Amino acid sequence: MKREDFGFVRRRVWALSLLLLSCGFSGLAHCRTAGVALLVQQTPSEGGTVAPSAGVHYFALGSEVKLVAIAKPGYQFLYWLGDVSDPSSGRTIAYLDGPKIVIAVFAKIPEEQVVAGGASSVGRSRSVGGGGIASRAERPAHSNPWRRPPPKRPKPIPIVEPSTILVLGLAVAMVLRRQRPF
């Protein structure tokens, strides 16, 4: 074999090994991104139950996951923290256009309080004048004047995996290189 032939073989072996390496990494990346992660939590933990249960769950990209929060006796559901369709509802939907974290927030229902004269504050900013009995039932749990409903989002467009672009780029480079004389 001539010395020039070894250079040709070396370049081909290098290109083939690079192609195999990138395909191997592509397979690993594909396994890791088989689903989109949804982390579901609740606070306080004894405040109620959530479905799907607290923890990390994997779903297909672009799927709609129904979330349900049910308060235990003595607690009430307040709202969802995170990207959901209706944060103030106990039943809502999370659109998985990427990894998400959602947290169900519960609150202990306070006992009725006896107020001895003057103004007292109930809830976040509501005040009750005079004396008497004030309870949290005056303001519904689902009404939250500080939150706007989230905007409607279109379904996400799937994005090509970076290793796929690398493999395609290597293939184009090999084709272009083949067209040049050695």
Domain boundaries, the chain: 3-33+161-179, 36-110
Percent residues over pLDDT 70 in the chain? 54
Give the residue-averaged pLDDT of 104-121: 62
Report pLDDT for 4: 52
Report pLDDT for 147: 63
Closest by CA to 76, choosing from 106, 54, 103, is 106
* Band (8; pLDDT cuts 50, 70, 90): low
Please state which of the ranges 16-25, 39-48, 154-163 shows the lowest mean pLDDT.
16-25
Report pLDDT for 20: 53
Give the residue-averaged pLDDT of 46-75: 91
Tell me which of 43 and 26 has the higher pLDDT.
43
* pLDDT higher than threshold 90 for residue 92: yes
Report pLDDT for 176: 80
pTM: 0.46
Q: What does the block give as tokens for 45?
A: 């933990």
Give the residue-averaged pLDDT of 88-102: 90
Fold of 36-110: Immunoglobulin-like (2.60.40)
Give the residue-averaged pLDDT of 95-104: 90
Tell me which of 108 and 140 has the higher pLDDT.
108
